[in-house]
């Protein structure tokens, strides 16, 4: 994959920095607007206890209706060609092209911090990037160019590894501030890689559990700096983190749910966008990375994620949105 990146991005620097490195210099928007520090924002304060005649009572927020949570999961999740939800297995290596060093470093640090929270490791310096993030002033031209010149990088001819030609056409043609493309690889339930026709040892099949699972192989994210416009860098970083760690539907209706996924839709409609990952976003990622992976149908994964989200949202969990 490094060859197609190098060919398409001649003259730009690809960074793959360690997760623990601190941002160097101030963090602003891609346009140079000050936007505060790039490090993960502190969690909001816990609910204040109420004292009544010596008793201390801490209010527990009510869990949202299960139907609302299930609808959210179904709306945002983009299943693979196998009908299941993919995720990273153990390690990621984000690389950033086209952003100045402080911005790129802050973005990588944020991805690494959220990845660690869901149980993933971030590769050391020099690792081969499998989450490639490119900032450009013309993402549509770039998308068409790299798909035409490197169709294998988008699994164009491997229908089991991508969402198919229709979705790839939308990736190229849809004028959005950020566009993304996930390529998956089917492995055995215990993580063995294999190719078609090869022999591998698998466990007994059942009606409830499959002998295979879907893992991300690599993810390509293009940021169109002109279309992004003026936006908080922290919010943009969390948006990219969300779509980098989960295969999210590009066009979703999140009416009634506050999520960083609605960052640009909210801004364009005049609503106040989320300032970072919300409780719902954090709960979704935790649910995805703790749900069963070796399922026959993705609907079972969605139910598992919704159940785990309810456990998170029904407890006094603080939002990860930055405070003022």
- The pLDDT of residue 48 is above 60: no
Q: Which domain holds residue 187?
A: 2-24+62-313
75 occurs within a structural domain:
yes
The whole-model pTM stands at 0.78
Per-residue pLDDT tens for 187-200? Answer: 776 666 655 555 55
Predicted pLDDT at 265: 94
287 occurs within a structural domain:
yes
43 occurs within a structural domain:
no
**Nearest residue to 318 (alpha-carbon basis) of 45, 126, 2, 102:** 45
**Residue 163 binned pLDDT confidence (cut-offs 50, 70, 90):** confident
Predicted pLDDT at 61: 62
Predicted pLDDT at 67: 92
- The pLDDT of residue 304 is above 90: yes
Per-residue pLDDT tens for 226-269? Answer: 999 999 999 999 999 999 999 999 988 887 899 999 999 999 99
45 occurs within a structural domain:
no
226 occurs within a structural domain:
yes
**Residue 286 binned pLDDT confidence (cut-offs 50, 70, 90):** very high
- The pLDDT of residue 323 is above 60: no
Backbone φ and ψ for 22, nearest 5 degrees, come out as -85, 150
- The pLDDT of residue 38 is above 70: no
289 occurs within a structural domain:
yes
Contact (CB, 8 A) for 220 and 153: yes
Please give the tally of structural domains in the chain: 1
The whole-chain average pLDDT of the chain stands at 80
Predicted pLDDT at 8: 39
56 occurs within a structural domain:
no
**Residue 297 binned pLDDT confidence (cut-offs 50, 70, 90):** confident
324 occurs within a structural domain:
no
Long-range contacts: 163-167, Cβ < 8 Å, 24+? Answer: 163/78, 163/80, 163/81, 164/81
Sheet holding 14-15, edge to edge: 14-15, 94-97, 131-136, 212-224, 178-188
- The pLDDT of residue 145 is above 50: yes
| Proportion of the chain above pLDDT 90, given as a percent | 54
**Average pLDDT of the segment spanning 87-102:** 96
- For the record, the structure tokens of 260 come out as 């960083």
Predicted pLDDT at 83: 86
- The pLDDT of residue 37 is above 60: no
**Average pLDDT of the segment spanning 148-155:** 91
- The pLDDT of residue 60 is above 80: no
């Amino acid at each position: 994959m490094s060859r197609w990146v190098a060919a398409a991005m001649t003259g730009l620097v690809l960074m793959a920095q360690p997760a623990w490195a601190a941002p160097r210099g101030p963090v602003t928007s891609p346009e140079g607007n000050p936007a505060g520090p790039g490090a993960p924002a502190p969690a909001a304060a816990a609910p204040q206890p109420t004292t009544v005649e010596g008793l201390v009572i801490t209010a527990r927020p009510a869990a949202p209706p299960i139907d609302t949570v299930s609808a959210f999961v179904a709306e945002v999740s983009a299943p693979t060609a196998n009908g299941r939800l993919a995720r990273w297995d153990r390690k990621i290596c984000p690389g950033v092209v086209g952003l100045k060093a402080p911005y790129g470093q802050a973005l990588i640090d944020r991805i690494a911090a959220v990845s660690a929270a869901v149980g993933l490791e971030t590769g050391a310096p020099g690792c081969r990037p499998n989450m490639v993030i490119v900032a450009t002033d013309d993402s549509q031209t770039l998308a068409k160019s790299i798909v035409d010149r490197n169709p294998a990088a988008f699994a164009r001819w491997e229908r089991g590894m991508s969402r198919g030609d229709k979705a790839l056409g939308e990736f190229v043609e849809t004028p959005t501030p950020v566009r993304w493309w996930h390529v998956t690889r089917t492995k055995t339930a215990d993580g063995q890689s294999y190719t078609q026709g090869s022999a591998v040892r698998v466990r007994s099949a059942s009606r409830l559990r499959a002998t295979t699972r879907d893992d991300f192989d690599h993810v390509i994210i293009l940021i169109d700096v002109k279309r992004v416009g003026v936006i908080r860098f922290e919010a943009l970083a969390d948006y990219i983190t969300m779509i980098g760690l989960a295969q999210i539907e590009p066009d979703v209706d999140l009416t009634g749910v506050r999520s960083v996924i609605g960052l640009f839709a909210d801004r364009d409609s005049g609503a106040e966008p989320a300032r970072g990952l919300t409780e719902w976003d954090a709960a979704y990622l935790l649910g995805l990375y703790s749900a069963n992976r070796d399922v026959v149908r993705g609907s079972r994964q969605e139910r598992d994620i919704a159940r785990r989200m309810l456990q998170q949202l029904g407890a006094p969990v603080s939002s990860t949105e930055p405070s003022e």
